[in-house]
Amino acid sequence: MKTLLSHPRNFFGLLSLFFVLSTIPAQAQEGAKIKLESLDRLAARASEVVNKEETTPDGGGMVYVRSFEFKQTGQYGESEVEEIRAQLRAPGWSRFMRVEDKDDPEGRETVEIYVFGKSKESDIYAGMTIIVTEPKELTVVNIVGQGNVNQLMKQVKKNEAPD
């Protein structure tokens, strides 16, 4: 299953298309930012590393990306992913969706999207984290800034690549 979320560089470049940002309170920004530094130790084992921190197109938020590609399976473990998920169990975070591709011949791809600061009455959130795991790849994207769930879903569906 190759989707927009499968390729961090594509995802990073398309943020301006569906991520409508505005200034959000500093307290919400602090809660929406997760710590990705624990993943940096994977760089020594990876064949390709993406480590980016950039402001969003309107300058009202930040995007943090850590992506690692490995030559062999087993170069990262569930414990590294669980360190990130543990932060996403903090108050204010909720899992928005989890999708598994069990039919992928190269292994299982899982995409998880978590949103921060979204109330049941609103489609607006204050931050988002996306975790993409594959046997030879791990990508985590943390977005600190306000966005709209409906716009996100429309853009993801529009940009899904054919199998």
Residue 163 pLDDT level (bands cut at 50, 70, 90): very low
Amino acid code (one letter) for 97: M
Per-residue pLDDT reduced to its tens digit, 49-79: 999 999 877 777 889 999 999 999 999 999 9
Most distant CA atoms of the chain, gap in Å: 45
Strand partners, 131: 112, 140
In a domain, 118, yes or no: yes
Domain that holds residue 145: 4-158
In a domain, 163, yes or no: no
Share of the chain above pLDDT 70, in %: 72
Q: How far is CA 40 from CA 43, 50, 144, in A?
A: 6, 10, 20
Is the distance from CB of 127 to CB of 156 less than 8 angstroms?
Answer: no
3 state DSSP class of 5: helix
- The pLDDT of residue 103 is 78
Share of the chain above pLDDT 90, in %: 45
- The pLDDT of residue 160 is 55
In a domain, 153, yes or no: yes
Q: How many domains does the chain have?
A: 1
In a domain, 139, yes or no: yes
More confident residue, 90 or 56: 90
- The pLDDT of residue 117 is 86
